[in-house]
Structure 1
Amino acid sequence: MLAVHFDKPGGPENLHLKEVAKPSPGEGEVLLKVVASALNRADLLQRQGHYAPPPGACNILGLEASGHVVELGPGCQGHWKIGDPAMVLLPGGGQAQYVTVPEGFLMPIPAGLTMLQAAAIPEAWLTAFQLLHLLGNVQAGDSVLIHAGSSGVGTAAIQLARMAGAIPLVTAGSQHKLQMAEKLGAAAGFNYKEEDFSEATLKFTKGAGVNLILDCIGGSYWEKNVNCLALDGRWVLYGLMGGADVSGPLFSKLLFKRGSLITSLLRSRDKKYKQMLVKSFTEQILPHFSMESPHRLVPVLDRVYAMTEIQAAHVYMETNRNMGKIVLELPQ
């Protein structure tokens, strides 16, 4: 099979397609013929040599995919049949023509969605669901500040926060991105390049601050985050795009707010946790992607690249211009 490959860590120019052995499903696994996969920030970090796959995971890039079940391994429970369309959360391996996956990581594709749209759901939407509900304990009426509001996770979090009865606020780096976030349901958006999002957030909340912050930036935002956090607020950190270092009185400021700092990564979670997450998401959220849902959820696609254009897809993601997901279409 063909797979995205790089021989050494570095820039996008190191990426190419390589013929590798097609995997075989093990106990309780299925083999998926991949139609589409989506890019994630983790793919860039792995390519650069900064984010190794979890122990035992495939080292091919790709944390989510859509496709068809083509083989069932021994011990499968019978939920899936050969030919079934599915979308899947992966610890790696999605950017290849075939991938093996525990059957509990597969989700049905909601009626009315294309394979390309489905490939944009698993990693981003499961991350947003986990951050809001399992970690952030979002409640109706909460104000939620979502950094990188036009990213895959951001566009999912806006919609899920709205569905939970919360008030989503976002930061982004352009007016165009903020307008899109507001169309998805953001109550307000702040351009971090042009204004202090912390002051703007406090003004919007009439000085109270936000109950929950979803933060993929980290170091460079810590002071502004604590500044606009409400008393007893929760700050969920899931990325370090703004660096890992903190200089200053973080603990005293957080203590003064009685704030909770919660950290999370999804990729390194164990199989049992991921199966629980997939099951909860499938039951609680997936039905809302259908046309009939009054709160219809929509995966946001920015661009689709052929798998052969993998270098261009990485270059584009590094510009931070995308609004929603960048999807790869695989040769069939």
Structure 2
Amino acid sequence: MAEASRSLGGYEPQVGLNTHEAGAPQRIPVPSLLRSLLSDHLDPGYAAAARRRAEGGTRRMSWAWQVLAGLGVATVFAVAVAQAQTAAPANRAAQQVLSGSVRAAESRTDALAAGRDALTSRVEGERRSRLAGDERGRALLADLDRDSFAAAATPVIGPGVTVVVTDPGVSRDLTDVSKQRVAGSRQVILDRDLQLVVNSLWVSGAEAIAVGGVRIGPNVTIRQAGGGILVDNQPIGSPYTVIAIGPPHAMQEAFGHSAGRQRLALLEKSYGVGVTVSTGEALTVAASSVRELRFAKQIGP
């Protein structure tokens, strides 16, 4: 009996029964075929196949949406490229017109500056020829020369110091913004740096200074204009060359301990700015343009 029960149910029927229940008839736990036919309407294999079919349809739908999104992005880029190609000739024509206007304006400015310099030379020659004849005229010429030098209206040649400041090159890692002194800009040298250098050179004993070939004199400013620096409204770029006429060795030593040199040393260490300070015996500083003085007020005795 035990062997037959084990072959049907897979376990001993008397397991877990007391002596009174051991001899009683037991039901064999075999699933009811009729209950299975009434409750399970779909064979498990068909159900699994249906689930796999549904999952495959979902994946195909996902791929279809991805393909449509890619086609949409490609279409947008194609339209943008077509519009850019269509507008390119007009943009090039506008750029050529603007560049031609700028070159024409620069040519007119250079011609006017040359005419101004020629007239200034003629006036200077006439003035000296008329005033150099007597003692009073020579004294007046000496006063005019002194005032012209103070107004930076005369060119100067002599020994002095040259300071060259160079912006650092572009970093290989374009995502590295840790060395940007101004957010969103690659420029490191600013107008206030050159202003401090010029003021330090004056304190060090300079008699005449030029920044980027532009003479520093009364009413001449160094200021920032967007991403560029203007000296007397003339743009200058890196490397920034500052020439100071004066006693070279004494001026170099004094400038080495000045606030301007300390600022440059900090920029060298922090941003990789290039700085060179050298002396020369025949440096040239051009004359500055003289502006008409309309209002003046005496300060002091």
Q: Same fold (TM over 0.5)?
A: no
Q: Specify the structure having the higher radius of gyration (Cα).
A: 2
Question: Which TM class, normalised by the smaller chain length?
Answer: under 0.3
TM-score normalized with structure 2 length: 0.22
Specify which structure has the higher proportion of helix. Answer: 2
Structure that is richer in strand per residue: 1
TM-score, with normalisation over the residues of structure 1? 0.20
